[in-house]
A and B are shown apart, each in its own frame.
Chain A
Amino acid sequence: MLRRGRSLVLVYTIAFSILMTIALLTVLPISHSYYALDGGSRGHSELSKMVSTWLTTLRVLQEVESAKTLLVIAREEPLALDELEHVVGFVKRGSVVVFYGSENAVKQLFEYLGFRAEYLGSVIDPVFSASESHLVLVNVSSLNATLLLDSPYAIQLAGYSEEVVVEPMAYTSMFSYVDSNSNSLYDVGEPIDSFPVVYSIRLGYGKLIVVCAHGLFTNNVFNSNVDWLKSLASEGDVLLDQSWVKASWLLYLKLLMNTPRTISPLYISLLVVAVVLVSTYVYNAIYR
């Protein structure tokens, strides 16, 4: 009888430990650029409070109603070819997509659209910057608004396409320069001028806004740019691309445990299992 009681305690302990491990893994913060649950400077936790849902695959864009939707895509790595097709198709149907991230991701997007893109270097503006020189203020002339970009960079575009119309939308100030050798200092010969860092690309019935910066709606600059986000979204839904998290099981699991604005069914299930385990253990302990 005693042995049976001990084995039961062991089972409860193991089960509870597993649950606790899962809970801790999902509750403890993880730092990863553009992750919806990351509260760090490059995370998207502030943006995720505004979005209707986050997408764990871009295939679902085929089923989303385009006209009233704003999709935010931020990537460290370039998009896959099928993902590019889905995004361009989504824009052509009348939606607005805002794209930013690493220079490789942005370059690849321009090249997919038929342009030659050359990375010139990061743009530093010691005069029109926020608390740090990599947080650069840029002027969106068409909207008479100012955006705060995290680590913008200059890309030189060449080529021409009749179907795709690219227009520079925002420039850095005339005090900015291209840090060609990435030493965060001005070196003689580095160009000082205004550089276009936000491009508006008209595709079909929609618009693709490409921001040459590592952060636009990331937490460190979100408050400065949220009004622009609202004006872009108007009354429609805001979607956040998180399809890249599948590369990491932990990020993916955390994402499944959370849903924007509501509680995840998986989270509730785990909570119920935990409560049942504790209850049965207490019951056995009292009545034995």
Chain B
Amino acid sequence: MNKYVAVPTMIALLVVSLLVVEASAQHSPPPITDCTYLLVILEKAIGYVVMGLPEGEYIAYIMMGTPVAPTISDIHIKSYRALLSYYSIMKNTVDSNIVQKIYEFYQSIDLVAEYARKLQSCCQDPGSAYAIRARIDSYLKELKNNIENMLTWYSTRYEYVEVYLEDKVYEPGETIPIYVKILNKTCSPKSAVLTYINTVFNAEEFICIESICNAVLRAPPAYSVKDYIGSGIAKFNLVVKISCLDGDIRVYRFVNVEYLYPQVVIDVPTAVLRGDTVNVTLYSEGEAVNGVLMAKNSVNVSVIANATIGSTPSKFKLLVEKPYFIPGINILKLCVNATEKTLPQCFEKPIIVKPRYPKVEARVLPLHISWDGGVQLVVTNHGDRPLKVRVYANNRLTALTEIAPLNTISLYVYRSLLPLSLGDIAVYVEDSLMLYDTYIYTSSFTVLNLSITIAIIVGGLATTILLREYEKMFTLYLAVGGAFRRARGVVEAVPDIVKDLLKPYVLGLGSSIAQLYYSLVKRFTRLPLYNETLREHYRAAVLSVIKSMRGKGLLWRLLLLAEKDMYSREKPRFEEAKKLYESVVVAEKGT
């Protein structure tokens, strides 16, 4: 297949596949990912289930087929299937397997509770969702109670055996005697099994003497149920398996066991000073427990010691040192392990650690006037141990040194090449043995660099003087600069500029006699150029065109009068110049 066929075919296939996907997705709702919504719908469904209303079945049926986020899809389907199974049990109570079905539903209630917990954890606002979950838990507890009663009632309907169990709350590890009276000779009890959420904790065979059989189970110890059960009364399922001639049957009962947390007291001062040794007293109000003592703060968690805590108070000496403790609030945490009777538990006691700083003094002047622009820092160690000094000027590490006990050091920590500058300094004085907290000193300073300042002043003055001497050149330079900006050549531009500059001189600086002289000269020859004095012009251009000697003499006199009128304080009279003008005209006419 060549490319002229392949490319359009691929595009066509792509378009068709997209259309097919779109068409198939047209009427299927997208998976629901809004956990709050799912949680509220679950609450509604369970509420209807507890009240026995058919709406619960409808919601469960619809929700079971509604797609949700993949992470909760499995438990979502199982939970609603469990709720649906409740309605199926209610509709068919004459089923021979009814007890087994009720028991299975009873087991699945915990799954629904787990689903509610999962939904609450993925809600956008778990705090608000907590109330909904609490209501769901309450509904489920009520449902569980109903199912327990139902299960017991259906179990006692059997005419083959009678099961006796003491109705009490057991302690962990306590023995649970179970008696079975055989009513049908074809039956014999096989085993008694204690379970919790599908986990078997204990199982025993029955021993029979005539028609009375007994088995002794033990209430599971706290350390074996610590991952499943919290403090309070836990309800275990007791399943008695009975073998009869026409099949096996199971009888269900419930065993209550109460689990408690240990009672441990931590006695420690609420405020301590860094480096001090404090006494920590620990004792248990119940049985002896083993635990770990830890120090916890915002930076880390450190194990301090393992401890066995009994009813007799045990005392620990605790050195409040780095890095276990930081200045401020620290938590002394004791976590005790589970025992047979008690569940694991952690106890916390806050301690405020007051900092202890080394005896040190750092000082920097707010204003520094120096020839080199340097800033001097003085650090004095009044203590009896060496200390590390780190100095940051404008957030840059500028000094790292050690200071001996009872010593003073002087550090140049900043050098400015500007005439005037501002800066910040931060000094960290640390104890290498970590017994003291870090002493921090911060300050701002101003630096005046004298040498640079004087150099700038002198340079500025010199430049000013030079520019004053060469004012015209400077003006010319500026003008040429302007000419450059107009994109003209320097060679062409300079004469024009000089011409412009000298224009007032060429025009006679406003002298009327000079104007008269120019008007006369103009009659015979050209006017003076911008780079020509009147006298040069007279010699170069006038003498050759004035024919009579008298005329030349008169014109020279008129030139002298014009010069005088332009440059001298003593101005000549205009009438005199006018007479000379007329005389020159007459003399030239005569020639």
A residues apposed to B, CB below 8 Å: 126-133, 174-175, 177, 185-188, 192
Contact = CB atoms under 8 A, between A and B. Distances in A.
Contacts of A187: 36, 125, 128
Contact of A126 (B27, B34, B59, B124): B34
16 contacts: A126-B34, A127-B66, A128-B29, A129-B30, A130-B27, A130-B29, A131-B25, A131-B30, A132-B30, A133-B29, A133-B30, A185-B34, A186-B34, A188-B40, A188-B125, A192-B44
Contact of A131 (B29, B34, B129): B29
Nearest to A188: B128
Interface string B13-47: 00000000000011111101010110011001000
B131 interface: yes
Nearest to A128: B29
A126 B28 CA distance: 11
B40 A186 contact: yes
A175 B41 contact: yes
A186 B33 CA distance: 11
B10 interface: no
Interface in B77-136: 124-125, 128-129, 131-132
Given A175-B41, A177-B37, A185-B34, A126 B131 contact: no
Interface string B42-64: 00100000000001000100110
Contact of B131 (A130, A132, A174, A188): A188
Contact of A127 (B29, B124, B129): B29
Contact of B40 (A128, A129, A132, A192): A192
Interface residues of B, number: 24
Contacts of B29: 126-131, 133
A131 B26 contact: yes
The 8 A-B pairs of least Cβ separation, nearest first, read A186-B37, A188-B128, A129-B29, A126-B32, A186-B36, A131-B25, A127-B66, A130-B27
A147 to B, nearest CB: 13
B80 to A, nearest CB: 12
A186 B119 CA distance: 13
B124 A185 contact: yes
A126 B31 CA distance: 8
Most chain A beta carbons < 10 A, residue from B26, B37, B62, B125: B37
Nearest to A185: B34
Contacts of B30: 129, 131-133
B36 A127 contact: no
Contacts of B34: 126, 185-186
A187 B125 CA distance: 8
A188 B25 contact: no
Nearest to B63: A127
A127 B25 contact: no
Contacts of B26: 130-131
A99 to B, nearest CB: 26
A187 B37 CA distance: 8
A130 B41 CA distance: 19
Nearest to B62: A127
B129 to A, nearest CB: 7
Contact of A188 (B41, B66, B129): B129
